[in-house]
Amino acid sequence: MNESNLIKSYINNNKLNIEKVIENYTPYIYTIIKNKSSELTEEDIEEIISDVFLSLWKNQEKLDINKDLSSYLAGITKNLYNKKMRDRKSNMNIDDYQNSLFEVESTELKVEKAEKENMIIMIVNNMEQEDKDIFVLYYYNSKSMKEIAKILNIKENKIKSRLCRIRKKIKKILEKRGYSYNG
């Protein structure tokens, strides 16, 4: 993993250099939000970005300084984005609500999807660190194989073959437990 992406590279005198984090990661967070939704206003996006950095600052003593900062930021961003979207939906008028009922999946499908996602997380958490990094960077951080190869200092072909093996492993475990996998 690239040393400059590690949290410890942003620590000065046992404090997180939040200005440096903001300077380096604002475009990254903005891209995550824009990729998730085009319906948010610029003010909403700026609010989420500010909340991401505030959350990081408030929880800096809980950070593992040897971990990749972008992973933490991506997770915080996605959580705050989801919260913003839930808040927006709770403020919808009755017509919007009635229209959204037609788009809602059945409860059974939602439960199955959540169980499957939790199972995938459990499988990934039990992988070797390098496989876990590859999987998270590819599927959760939307990095290309070329970007992952550069970040982890691994050949792109190796990334491709590892992702293939990871998917096969996840598929095998999920199918064994009665789920389908479309990764």
The reported pLDDT for the residue numbered 101 is 47
Name all domains of the chain by residue range, CATH numbers in brackets: 1-104 (1.10.1740), 106-183 (1.10.10.10)
* pLDDT tens per residue, range 85-132: 887 766 655 455 444 444 444 556 666 777 777 788 888 888 898 898
Consecutive H or E run containing 15: strand 15-16
C-alpha–C-alpha distance, residues 144 and 135, integer Å: 11
The reported pLDDT for the residue numbered 150 is 92
The reported pLDDT for the residue numbered 91 is 60
* pLDDT tens per residue, range 62-78: 877 778 788 888 888 88
Beta bridge partners of 6: 68
β-strand pairing of 11-12 with 15-16 = antiparallel
Please return the burial class of 134, using the count of CB atoms within 10 Å of its CB with bins 0-12, 13-18 and 19+: buried
* pLDDT tens per residue, range 9-40: 777 777 878 888 888 888 989 888 888 877 78
pTM over 0.75: no
**3-class state of residue 17 by DSSP:** coil
